[in-house]
Amino acid sequence: KAGVTQTPRYLIKTRGQQVTLSCSPISGHRSVSWYQQTPGQGLQFLFEYFSETQRNKGNFPGRFSGRQFSNSRSEMNVSTLELGDSALYLCASSPQLSINYGYTFGSGTRLTVV
């Protein structure tokens, strides 16, 4: 059974540009969440989607947005990129509404903003 797939694996963007990251959850998983990992701030929750609805959002500016499609695939978008947006972006999926049984994570997208 395929795991959580994130594309692209690496990305380099220029300050001011926008970027879209993609996540395909494990087949049958309907909950998808996104996390940002940086050396300074560690792992921080971005948002969570279930059945195409955003159920929860972390403390990030409005430049960070996401969506989920009917096949549970999810995208996150960052507009007007800043140097501080350089990070590893991790996607995770869960079969249930809550994550009490733990997520399955992807290998992440490493975003570098120059």
Please give the residue ranges that form the binding site for other proteins (CB under 8 A). 3, 31, 33, 35, 42-43, 45, 48, 50, 55-56, 58, 88, 90, 92, 97-108, 110
Where do runs of H (alpha helix) occur along 1-114? none
- The neighbouring-strand residues paired with 38 are 42
Q: Which is nearer to other proteins, 18 or 96 (CB)?
A: 96
Count of beta carbons in the 10 Å neighbourhood of residue 106: 24
Write down the least CB distance from residue 87 to other proteins, Å.
Answer: 12
Write down the least CB distance from residue 31 to other proteins, Å.
Answer: 7
Cβ-based nearer residue to other proteins, 18 or 107 = 107
How would you classify the pairing of strands 10-13 and 109-113? Answer: parallel
At closest approach, how far in Å is the CB of 21 from other proteins? 14
Q: What is the CA radius of gyration of the chain?
A: 13
CB of 15 to other proteins, least distance (A): 24
- Looking at the Cβ atoms of 39 and 62, the one nearer to other proteins is 39
Residue whose CB is less far from other proteins, 1 or 14: 1
Nearest to 72 by CA among 38, 27, 18, 111: 27
In angstroms, the first-to-last Cα distance of the chain is 37
